Amino acid sequence: MVKSESSQQPAVLNFHNEKDGRLTLELQGAWVLGASRPSVGLVEQQIKAVSPGTLCFDCGALQHWNTGLLLFIDQCNCLATKYSVELEDRGLPDGVRCLMAMAKAVPEHENEGEGPIERSLFYKVGSRSIRIVDAANEVFIFIGEAITALARFAVGKARFRWADLWYTVQQCGAEALPIVALISFLVGLIMAFVGAVQLQQFGASIYVADLVGLAMVREMGVMMTGVIMCGRTGAAFAAQLGTMKVNEEIDALRTMGLSPMEFLVLPRLLALFFMLPLLVLFANFVGIIGGLVVSLSMLDITFNQYVNQIIQAIDLVNFSTGLIKSVVFGGIVAGSGCLRGMQCGNSSAAVGVAATSAVVTGITVLIIADAVFAVIFNILQI
């Protein structure tokens, strides 16, 4: 890249007009960044004056060069293109010619350097529609593969590690009891307090037990447990699978002939299918205890009165509605977390996006499913 770095002279540019229409640029001294260099405007003035057919270079007296020379040559190349002059690079140093060839070997991207393109309304609507269809297609494919994996499990052909299933059961079950207990107790406490304030005005304080019991077993117990598990377990599933995708562990499973749906997703689905109904039973009990605390402390209701009223209010039908929902909600929580984890991108930031998306998707689908159940139970008069 250098000829000699000793006794460097300032950059000098001389012009030589040849009789055959060639304009030769003689470069002398050190053409480096940070030092004064002749302006490319001088070359443009000379081109306008003599209208040469070819632009040549003479670097025999060039002492030292770096990116400063490359910038000058590139500017000369732009001038040659602008004024339809042929640029001849035979007189340039070999290093400069090599770098120019490498730069030209990479084609310029389409619309490079242009500002944002304003798209029409039809283009935007069409693009958004295509993205929605593609997303729906991914969801249906995931649901189909999950159903297939469950069917293979039912006939004993699913390939996964039972140790993973029991570990996930522990994570989704026993380790979730403290937060489920706290939230359920507070929900039962709040419902009993709000109901007591109103029912006391009519001398019907005993019906606080009916209010808390029915609300917990039909709606609040299963809904609050589902929301808790979305934020706790659904996000964890998405982060785990997303990290495995970033580390290419899922691709490694496919290479070994193992189905990621069976090996990774199926244990998580089964764990929540089994554990969410048990967590809902626990949440219902703790919520009723919360109502009992309010009844004993604020109302003239004894322990026996509260328990007898709860037994009269909650029958098998009401008790079963929450458990039916819990099985479906378990599949929704696990499916949302696993789906977003499998859709995760290949960066650490994408893992966070997948976890957030799993929580949002899970809670949204839970509320939609609960509304559908409410309509169905109303039609069946349950």
**How do residues 126-137 score in pLDDT, each as one tens digit?**
889 999 999 899
Task: Please indicate, yes or no, whether residues 349 and 258 belong to a single structural domain of this protein.
Answer: yes
Residue 129 amino acid letter: S
Residue 3 pLDDT greater than 50, yes or no:
no
Cα 372 from chain centre = 28
Region 316-324: what's the mean pLDDT? 89
pLDDT at 360 (0 to 100): 93
- The pLDDT assigned to 107 comes to 61
The residue segments making up the domain with residue 342 are 137-379
225: burial class by Cβ within 10 Å (0-12, 13-18, 19+)? buried
Residue 4 confidence (pLDDT): 43
Our measurement of the distance from residue 205's CA atom to the centroid of its chain's CA atoms, rounded to an integer in Å, reads 49
The answer as to whether 125 is a domain residue is no
237 and 159 part of one domain: yes
Measured CA to CA in angstroms, residue 237 lies from 27, 69, 149, 269, 380 at distances of 65, 56, 17, 10, 35
For the segment 46-67, the average pLDDT, to the nearest whole number, is 81
Strands of the sheet with 54-65, listed across from one edge: 12-17, 22-31, 54-65, 86-87
Residue 124 lies in a domain: no
pLDDT surpassing 80 at residue 101? no
Q: Which residue has the higher pLDDT, 6 or 331?
A: 331
Are 63 and 29 in contact by the 8 Å Cβ rule? The answer is yes
Q: Are residues 308 and 363 in the same domain?
A: yes
Give percent of the chain above pLDDT 70. 94
Residue 176 lies in a domain: yes
Q: Are strands 86-87 and 54-65 parallel, antiparallel or unpaired?
A: parallel
Q: Do residues 201 and 208 make contact, with C-beta atoms less than 8 angstroms apart?
A: no
Residue 69 covered by a domain: yes
pLDDT of residue 116: 63
CB 291, CB 191: distance < 8 Å: yes
320 and 276 share one domain: yes
Instruction: Give yes or no: residues 175 and 291 share one domain.
Output: yes
Q: Coil, helix or strand for 24?
A: strand
For the full predicted model, state whether its pTM sits above 0.85. no
